[in-house]
Structure 1
Amino acid sequence: MNKPVVWAIAAAIAIAGPLIGITLRRLVDRLEAKTSTRTRAMYRMAFGLARDIAVPVCSLVGLMIAVSLPTGLPISPDLVRRILTAAMMLAITFAVSRLAAEVVISITRRITGVAGSVSLFSTITKTIVLVLGLLITLDSVGVKITPLLGALGIGALAIALALEGTLANLFAGVHILASKTVNPGDFVKLDTGEVGWVSDVNWRTTTIQDIPGNYIIVPNRKFAEAILTNYHRPEQDMAITVEVSAAYDSDLDFVEEVTLDVARRVMKELDCGFASADPRVRFHTFGDSGVEFRVVLRTRNYEDQYLLVSEFIKALHRRYRQERIVIPYPMRVLHIQSPTTAALASLDPDLSLTTASEVNADLARRTEP
């Protein structure tokens, strides 16, 4: 067989490899689309692996077959086969690392019930698989990895000393997730004032999304050392209090009855309210303007408390106006004693006089014959 024919066959095989890979990838996409939604989650990772390796593996296999033909290349065919084999192993390693990361994330979400992204586990898994794949690839092409492992050990020690802060954040992130004191999706508040949902925990930082939607980036080490309030543990619902006051001449039993009725109705009507919870009213202070008491409501989420409190205050204000329950203005009553009243009071302690007019009337009565 003459060389032009051999070169044509080799070129056709080299071109056919990627085309076959693209065809297989499209076939995998169609099979995934036809899979039912119930079983799609089970086969998603397998389809992803097949999709990742289809094109590179078919392309490299086509090149290996083409190189094995007697084309008369000036380069050693054995060297080319080694390079292509290493490239194929690296391509498979990248695909397997992605699959391993997805498996770890899926298991973690299933165990912890976390719906958010946990990129720390994904990063660690990918790194381990890539390092192992690289070592296996080097060994397969004839590179002795034993001295390399020794050099890597010494280099790892030097890197650990140089990247002390980075490694501290890495292990702090592992500790945050392993301790299960906080998971992505939890609403937390740090002692430094940061408030929001834990969005992600990666190898260096913890991302918190606050209520306005901005991202707060906190180093894992500081996050692990902070005094933290987790509003999703042990239960996601929480109690909130609203301070109210009523006038001193109000019937407190009636005030309590009306307030509880309004609280129950608002908590039942709003989706953010905890309808099965029973609100409470607790009187606690004789204030300057009236009797002060505390209304305890319950909400499903921390961020829903603002809507619940707002609707409760509006409904309570309307109901108090209908029932003629007075919410007192801040005021003080001053009793001023005149000098004449003070003098008479010193002479007659039993005399109950509060105004100058009463003093004059009493003096007139005393001077009558």
Structure 2
Amino acid sequence: MDKSLIWAMAAAFVVIGPLVGIGVRRVIDRLAAKPWARSRSANRMVLGLARDLAVPVAALAGLALGLALPTGLPISPELISKILTAALMLVITFAVSRLAADLITSVVKRITGVSGSVSLFATITRVTVFILGLLITLDGAGVRISPLLGALGIGALAIALALEGTLANLISGIHILASRTVQPGDYVQLDTGEHGWVSDVNWRTTTIRDIPGNYVIVPNSKFADAILTNFHYPAQDMAVTVEVSTGYDSDLDFVEKVTLDVAQQVMASLDVGFTEVEPKVRFHTFGDSGIQFRVVLRTREYADQYLLVSEFIKALHRRYRTEGIAIPYPMRVLRAEGAPIANLV
């Protein structure tokens, strides 16, 4: 056979291989858009694995067919076979590592019941699978991995000593997610004052998004050791107290009735109110200028309390003025030696 024809056929195989892979990937993308594929995570993962493998496997197949022709290249067939096998193993390792990470992420989300990111488990899974695949590839290529494993063990010990803080953050991140006391999406407050929604827990840090929308980055070791309040555990709804006072001349039963009526109306009119629980009024102190009491409302989550309290105070102030209920000003009585009592308002 003519030498130029052989080279043309080899080049054609090398070019056609990736094109076939691109065509297969487009077919997989169309299948992935079907309702039956989107309805189950297993279908999406299998199609994702096939999509990742389509182009590189087809390209390697075309390259193998091209190199199988008698082109006269000064490379032994055994070396070509080892190189192609190693490349195929690396491609499969990369695709399987992504599949394993997606699988672990899906399982963790299903167990925890949250939709937040769990990138820590995904990263650990991806790195572990890739390292195992790389070792298998080296062993298949004829490289003795026993001395390599010994060297890696000694190197790992040195790295562990050098990266003590980083490893502490990694272990703390695993502990945070495994303990399930805090999950992505929970609203938390640390004893150092930081508070917000847990956005992500990765291999080094925990990200908290506060109410203004800023991100607070906390090292996992500090987050795990902090005294923490989780406002979403065991439930998201929470009690909110508002301190109020009324004059000594007020009818307390009437004040309680009017206050509860206003609280119920406000909680029912706002989406943030938790109407399944009745508000409460509790008198607790004979103050300097009036009788003090607290109103206990309930809101659906921590961030909604600000709107609920604001609307309640405005509505209560209007209703007290309409009903003639006094909200006393601060008052103090001073007695001087040999002088009459003076009331200072």
Confirm or deny a common fold (TM above 0.5).
yes
Larger Rg: 1
1:44 alignment counterpart? 44
C-alpha distance in structure 2 between counterparts of 1:95 and 1:237, whole Å: 42
Q: Alpha-carbon deviation of 1:332? A: 3.1
Once the two structures are superposed, the pairs formed by residues 206-245 of structure 1 within 5 Å of their partners are 206-245=206-245
Q: Alpha-carbon deviation of 1:92? A: 1.1
Q: Alpha-carbon deviation of 1:335? A: 7.0
Bigger shift: residues 105-114 or 328-337: 328-337
1:279 alignment counterpart? 279
1:74 alignment counterpart? 74
C-alpha distance in structure 1 between counterparts of 2:73 and 2:333, whole Å: 108
8 A contact 2:176–2:224 mirrored in 1: yes
1:358 alignment counterpart? none
C-alpha distance in structure 2 between counterparts of 1:174 and 1:237, whole Å: 28
1:104 alignment counterpart? 104
TM-score by length of 2: 0.95
Secondary structure of 1:84's counterpart equals: helix
Q: Alpha-carbon deviation of 1:30? A: 0.6
Question: Cα deviation per residue 1:77-133 (whole Å; 9 max; x = unaligned)?
Answer: 321222122111111111110110010010000001111001110111001100000
C-alpha distance in structure 1 between counterparts of 2:326 and 2:177, whole Å: 52
Secondary structure of 1:196's counterpart equals: strand
Q: Which letter maps to 2:318? A: R
C-alpha distance in structure 1 between counterparts of 2:329 and 2:116, whole Å: 48
Question: Cα deviation per residue 1:303-348 (whole Å; 9 max; x = unaligned)?
Answer: 0000000010011111111111111122235578977x9xxxxxxx
Q: Alpha-carbon deviation of 1:40? A: 4.7
Once the two structures are superposed, the pairs formed by residues 103-182 of structure 1 within 5 Å of their partners are 103-182=103-182
Say whether residues 1:32 and 2:49 are aligned partners.
Answer: no
Q: Which letter maps to 2:201? A: V
Q: Alpha-carbon deviation of 1:285? A: 1.1
Secondary structure of 2:39's counterpart equals: helix
Q: Which letter maps to 1:201? A: V
Q: 1:176 and 1:55, CA in 2 relative to 1: closer, same or farther beyond 3 A? A: same
C-alpha distance in structure 2 between counterparts of 1:70 and 1:60, whole Å: 18
For structure 1, the 5+ residue unaligned runs are 342-353, 356-369
1:367 alignment counterpart? none
C-alpha distance in structure 2 between counterparts of 1:48 and 1:164, whole Å: 37
C-alpha distance in structure 1 between counterparts of 2:9 and 2:38, whole Å: 46
Secondary structure of 2:332's counterpart equals: coil
Once the two structures are superposed, the pairs formed by residues 228-307 of structure 1 within 5 Å of their partners are 228-307=228-307
For structure 2, the 5+ residue unaligned runs are none
Secondary structure of 1:240's counterpart equals: strand
C-alpha distance in structure 2 between counterparts of 1:35 and 1:77, whole Å: 46
Bigger shift: residues 27-36 or 245-254: 27-36
1:364 alignment counterpart? none
Secondary structure of 2:243's counterpart equals: strand
C-alpha distance in structure 2 between counterparts of 1:228 and 1:37, whole Å: 41
8 A contact 1:200–1:206 mirrored in 2: yes
8 A contact 1:32–1:40 mirrored in 2: no
Once the two structures are superposed, the pairs formed by residues 289-328 of structure 1 within 5 Å of their partners are 289-328=289-328
TM-score by length of 1: 0.89
1:362 alignment counterpart? none
8 A contact 1:186–1:197 mirrored in 2: yes
1:85 alignment counterpart? 85
C-alpha distance in structure 2 between counterparts of 1:110 and 1:195, whole Å: 26
Q: Alpha-carbon deviation of 1:19? A: 0.4
Q: Which letter maps to 1:266? A: V
Q: Which letter maps to 1:306? A: Y
Q: Which letter maps to 1:72? A: G
Q: 1:63 and 1:319, CA in 2 relative to 1: closer, same or farther beyond 3 A? A: same
Q: 1:168 and 1:336, CA in 2 relative to 1: closer, same or farther beyond 3 A? A: closer
Q: Alpha-carbon deviation of 1:159? A: 1.1
Bigger shift: residues 118-127 or 40-49: 40-49
8 A contact 2:267–2:273 mirrored in 1: yes
8 A contact 2:104–2:125 mirrored in 1: yes
C-alpha distance in structure 1 between counterparts of 2:38 and 2:161, whole Å: 49
C-alpha distance in structure 2 between counterparts of 1:323 and 1:265, whole Å: 16
8 A contact 1:237–1:301 mirrored in 2: yes
C-alpha distance in structure 2 between counterparts of 1:132 and 1:334, whole Å: 82
Q: 1:232 and 1:37, CA in 2 relative to 1: closer, same or farther beyond 3 A? A: farther
Question: Cα deviation per residue 1:147-187 (whole Å; 9 max; x = unaligned)?
Answer: 11111111111111111111111111111111111111111
Q: Alpha-carbon deviation of 1:5? A: 1.1
Question: Cα deviation per residue 1:202-222 (whole Å; 9 max; x = unaligned)?
Answer: 111111111111111111111
C-alpha distance in structure 2 between counterparts of 1:337 and 1:131, whole Å: 88
Q: Which letter maps to 1:226? A: A
